[in-house]
Amino acid sequence: MRSLGQIATLVRKDLLLEWRGRTRGLSVVLFGVVTLLLFSFAVGPDSTALRAGAAGFLVLALLLSSTLALSEGFRLEHENHALEGLLLAPVEPVALFYAKALSNTLFLLLLAPVLTPVAVVLYAVDIGPATLLQVIGLWGLAAAGLSAPGTLFAAMTSRLRSQDVLLPLLLFPLVVPVLLGSVKAIALILTGDPMQQLPSWTLLLAGFDVIYWSLCGVLFAYVVEEGV
């Protein structure tokens, strides 16, 4: 399976680049923290309201940070025409997509261990280590859901003038199921799940991920094929 090897190599390359330029990644993390702060200011120092909205604020912080991360992911590729080089290598566009989407997912996943404790502190949420792991797991599903269509749209918009507006404009309505699903699921994890709804929401997220990781993988070739 040559493609799997290619994907692994590409992911390693992306992670290495990310590590070498880690100030960039750091700035995205800081942006996430700032977002969490802003939500507190928007709601006010009312710990009940903050606790009730904690899951929503967390997911929104993830969502807003993701657009930065996603567009960054392609900026380097375009700056040095690296993308054309890769495609000529030859790298299968499919492999390229999955590698990029995977790198993006991993990067977004790394936001979780930073942002969740910040949210726990700011919003006065009670959370144990088992709960924290559950939140991170769900965060992973959400990150995957954002990364698949996000990578595909980022590949398009990173070439265009108004990319900063276009990427969120296209992505945010599309990932509403991820948004709703992960907010609900994380809220249930944080505040308890008396009616056993968590499996349904997790299934919804997983379903979204499966559908879009397949669909975007197939369609990515059309996005990058002509004169990238």
Partner 1 sequence: MTRLRWDAIVGLVGLALLLAGSYIGLFEAPAERHMGEVQRIMYAHVPTAWSSMLVLTAAFVFAIASVWSGKAKWDAWMTGSTEVGVVMGALLIGQGMIWAKPTWGVWWDWDVRLTTTLIMVILFAGILVLRSFVEDSERRATWSAVAVIIGYVDVPLVYFCVRWWRSLHQIQSSPETVASTMVTPLRINAIAVLLIAIWFVAQRTRIELARRRNESVAMPARRARRDGETAAAPQES
Contacting positions for partner 1 (CB under 8 A): 78, 81, 149, 152-153, 156-157, 159-162, 166, 169-170, 173-174, 176-177, 180-181, 184, 197, 200-201, 204, 207-208, 211-212, 215-216, 219, 222-223, 225-227
Q: How far is the CB of 64 from partner 1 (least distance, A)?
A: 17
Query: How many angstroms separate the CA atoms of 86 and 145, rounded?
Result: 25
Q: How many CA atoms lie within 13 A of 71 on its CB side?
A: 20
Query: How many angstroms separate the CA atoms of 184 and 56, rounded?
Result: 8
- Asked if residues 91 and 6 have their Cβ atoms less than 8 Å apart, the reply is yes
Query: How many angstroms separate the CA atoms of 102 and 8, rounded?
Result: 10
In terms of CB distance, is 49 or 215 closer to partner 1?
A: 215
Query: How many angstroms separate the CA atoms of 22 and 130, rounded?
Result: 29
In terms of CB distance, is 28 or 74 closer to partner 1?
A: 74
Q: How far is the CB of 183 from partner 1 (least distance, A)?
A: 9
Query: How many angstroms separate the CA atoms of 146 and 46, rounded?
Result: 31
Q: How far is the CB of 3 from partner 1 (least distance, A)?
A: 21
In terms of CB distance, is 40 or 200 closer to partner 1?
A: 200
Q: How far is the CB of 131 from partner 1 (least distance, A)?
A: 21
